[in-house]
Amino acid sequence: MNEFQQLVDKWLDGEATPAERDLLNTYLKRDPSQLQNFAEQVELNSLLRTRHDVNGKVVGALTQAAHRLGDLCPVTESTAWRRRSTLLLGACLGAILAVMLTVTGVWWVSDHANPGFVGEAVPPDANSDRLVHSGQEIAAVSELAPSVGRVSRTFNVLWPSETRRWSVEDQLHRQDVIELSAGKIELLFDSGAMVALTGPAVLEIHSAFLVSLRSGTATARVENPESGLFRVLTPRTEIVDLGTEFGVRVDPESQDAEVVVFDGSVNLVPISDADGTHAKSRRLLNGEAVRITKSGDFQRVVSVDSSAYSLSDGNFSEGLRRPLVISQVADDRRDSASPKFYRIFHGGLEEDARAFVDRYHEWNGISEEGMPYFLRGADYVATFNDDKHGSPVITVFLSQPATLYVFLDKRIPTPDWVLESFENTGLYIGLDEHFPEIETAPLGRGPGQSVDHHHLVWKRVVKSPGPVQLGTLNIPLELRGSMYGIAAQPLRQNIAIRKRGPASSNN
Amino acid sequence: MRSGFSNDDVELAATPSERMSSSELAAEWIKTQNRILAFICSLVNDFNEAEDLLQETAAKVFASVDRYDRSRLFLPWAIGIARHVVLDHRRRSSHDVHIFDHEIIDGLAEVFENVSDRSEFARQSLSKCLERVSPSVREVLRLRYEKNLTPTAIASQFGKPPGMVRMLLHRVRAQLRECIEQRFRAEGLQT
């Protein structure tokens, strides 16, 4: 790269010093033919900036000016005009906004739909009476503005009083705020992003690619990341989707944000401090979860209650069918540098249930008869298959008396802690392995399909709620095998009381 | 000699029949604001400062609407105002008051005043060309162009050398220019 281009790049990157600017000046003076070259590069640079104009400073420059100079619209020195100017202002600004809408409607769709959002068409200014007119225009613009998505599903939603009640197929627009006290609502954005919101929650829509989660829980899935980066703003951080499914929970009191990646990866960009300093962003991978606090710290979230995050399919419309059994999982190893989380699926153990947080493998019955009957509908924990060669000590917290199960790969020796405190049921559950990079190894659907390995089911009756410590697993590197699985069912006596009366002898 | 704005021009009020309506002015502004911003960015290498000056230019353009002679081209007139705004801002600025020499500023104004359909086509083409950019590169572009971070700041976020980010941005911009030029050629437009 020659020196002239280096100087141009420094200019474009905002890093040119006064001395380098003077040198660039000299180059341009010496060879005026380079003016066109420089101008073209600057124009592309400003187009890129305008395309990322999240604050609407460029598109909003016109209306900002109209507001700042309201009584100059139209401008005249005539006293008569001045007297009439207040009355005419509304029409004047209306005309401008109408042009904005006409001309920039295309702009909004073609450019600002991806990425970023345009700020308010006209910034509100409560100090000016004249803005009453423009306020009406804003409402008109908002009504006529192109939609950025639609409501696709709702489930048992309770709406706070005096807020909009959304229905399936309602169109979503910029600046729409969705507020729900309870239940779930699913939104489909034109960007391809799908967002499931679980109440109580408040979400504001800025564009098809950008929303703000003010409080509550949202799960987002982006099917086609190539079309643009979907982002969720929270008070503490900005989550940039890099092709994934992720959950966000914002505490309404502390404003801390919990971010959970279920698939793919996201980038976390901390919101700048008041002094403008930029904390470091962080990549969060599949199976990792952190809490971002006011101080900007990333704290590991050890276990994640899957039912708290309404995925856009599967359990969207399902509630918890009984009191949870596994309330929490912890281990003795990881810190925030390795923020992996155990995923708890309440009542979620069924055919094709995802087995590990860091793999796509699924649990299945080893034959068409399905998995052992006592496991169906159990709470289970998706562990980390990467831990198989040296797992931490895992602690499972049971919220009620339960039968605790572990599934051990039959290819590996049974650890002593299992032999000592668990009972062999003599039944197996199958593991259907899937490696996305190998097209010839697709997942099977249903029991007995494409099962690759068998795990022996061991059980332990735990009559008192509380923590239960499980031992480690150390599969020698020369052996093949998978990490163990964990599941729990309420003790049969609890079910019997509800459904059939006296407890069975099993308990 | 440039045919743009001068202080004398501002003082000459257009007759009512020549006066541009607010909606016409708004339409002209929106059509040309990218070029006006680009001109300002050629003189000021900080996006936030350039955008503030764009807004100030818009205000001045509106304030001068009754002085605009519609028989003249809008873009040179508006760029003349932008030039005045930038120079005035620099004079008032307490820090670095220097800018390019006047002949360079005039030369740049002349380039940007050159009205063509390229700007709008370039904007549309850019959208298409950006679709080819990988998510990770798009993230770097976002940090540079949305967050206004310098390559040094971006590099520190990724734990990479600043030179690597500078080179990445240089290459991406070059590829985007080439992509836009290809689309120009495909449409049979002059490049």
User: What SS3 string covers A393-436?
Assistant: CEEEEECCCEEEEEEEECCCCCCHHHHHHCEEEEEEEEEECCCC
Mean pLDDT of A402-406: 95
Report percent pLDDT > 70 for chain A. 71
- Is the confidence at residue A131, as pLDDT, over 50? no
When pLDDT is cut at 50, 70 and 90, the band that residue A174 belongs to is: confident
B144/A29 Cβ within 8 A? no
pLDDT of residue A365: 94
Beta strand A342-345 pairing with A303-305: parallel
CB contact (8 A) between residue A64 and residue B19? no
Contact A9/B166, CB-based, under 8 Å?
A: yes
What average pLDDT does the segment A251-280 reach? 75
Between A and B, how many residue pairs show a Cβ–Cβ distance under 8 A?
217
Nearest chain A alpha carbon to B191: A40
SS3 B70: coil
| Rounded Cα–Cα distance for residues A450 and A427 (Å) | 18
Among B98, B122, B135, the residue with its CB nearest the CB of A243 is B135
Q: Say what the pLDDT of residue A179 is.
A: 93
Task: Say if residue A110's pLDDT is above 80.
Answer: no
**Residue B152 to chain A, least CA–CA distance (Å):** 9
Q: Is B87 exposed, middle or buried (0-12, 13-18, 19+ CB in 10 A)?
A: middle
pLDDT in the model for residue A58? 63
Q: Which residues are CB-neighbours of A437 under 8 A, at least 6 positions away?
A: none
How far off is chain B from A68, nearest CA to CA, in Å? 7
pLDDT at A93 over 70: no
Contact B111 A36 (CB under 8 A): yes
More confident residue, A60 or A13: A13
Please name the residue of chain A whose CA is at the shortest distance from the CA of residue B133.
A226
Nearest residue, CB atoms, B108 vs list A35, A68, A99? A35
Indicate yes or no: CB of A95 within 8 angstroms of CB of B148.
Answer: no
Separation of alpha carbons A94 and A134, rounded Å: 7
Side-chain-facing half-sphere of B185: CA atoms under 13 Å: 6
pLDDT number for residue B117 = 59
Task: Looking at the complex, report in whole angstroms how far the Cα of residue A118 sits from the nearest Cα belonging to chain B.
Answer: 12
Rounded Cα–Cα distance for residues B19 and B17 (Å): 6
Q: Do A43 and B122 touch (CB under 8 A)?
A: yes
Report pLDDT for A425.
94
pLDDT at A258: 92
Cβ atoms of A448 and A366 within 8 Å: the answer is yes
pLDDT at position A320: 53
Kindly indicate the confidence band of residue A372, based on its pLDDT and cuts at 50, 70 and 90. very high
For chain B (191 residues), the mean pLDDT of every run of 10, in chain order, is: 39 52 76 89 88 88 79 88 89 69 90 74 82 81 88 84 89 89 75 48
Tokens of A405: 């199960």
Chain A contact set for B30 (CB, 8 A): 62, 99-100, 103-104, 107
Are the Cβ atoms of B139 and A242 closer than 8 angstroms? Answer: yes
Backbone angles phi, psi at A69, to 5 degrees: -115, 40
Considering only residues A178 and A89, tell me which one the structure prediction assigns the higher pLDDT. Answer: A178
Mean pLDDT of A155-176: 84
Dist CA B84 CA B68 (whole Å): 16
Burial class (CB in 10 A: 0-12, 13-18, 19+), A414: middle
Residue A225 has pLDDT above 70, yes or no: no
Residue with the larger pLDDT of the pair A86 and A104: A104
Residue B80, pLDDT score = 92
Distance from CA of B71 to the nearest CA of A (A): 19
A434 vs B5, which has greater pLDDT? A434
Residues of B within 8 A of A51 (CB-CB) are 126-127, 130, 145
Whether residue A240 is predicted with pLDDT greater than 90 in this model: the reply is no
Residue A227: predicted pLDDT: 59
Q: Which pLDDT tens digit goes with each residue over A468-507?
A: 999 888 887 777 889 999 999 998 644 443 443 343 333 3
A contacts of B152 (beta carbons < 8 Å): 15
Judging contacts by C-beta atoms under 8 Å, the chain A residues touching residue B59 are 64-65, 68-69
Task: Indicate whether A12 pLDDT > 90.
Answer: yes
The CA dihedral of B173, B174, B180, B184, to the nearest 10 degrees, is: 150
Contacts of A23 (CB under 8 A, 6+ apart): A7
Q: Answer yes or no: is pLDDT of A118 > 60.
A: no
Average confidence (pLDDT) over A27-54 = 87
E strands, A145-181, in order: 149-158, 171-172, 177-180
Instruction: Please give the residue of chain B at the shortest CA–CA distance from A117.
Output: B146
- What predicted TM-score, i.e. pTM, was given to this entire model? 0.50
Residues of B in contact with A14 (CB under 8 A): 45-47, 148, 150
d(CA A120, CA A174): 9
The shortest CB-CB distance from A44 to any of B112, B150, B177 is to: B177
Can you tell me the distance from the alpha carbon of A10 to that of A24, in angstroms, rounded to the nearest whole number?
A: 10
Query: CB A51 to CB B145 under 8 A?
Result: yes
Using the CB atoms, write b or e for A78-97: b if 16+ within 10 Å.
Answer: eeeeeeebeeebbebbbbbb
Across chain A, mean pLDDT equals 75
User: Does A431 have pLDDT greater than 90?
Assistant: yes
The pLDDT tens digits for A314-361 are: 555 555 556 789 988 888 876 656 788 888 888 889 899 999 988 889
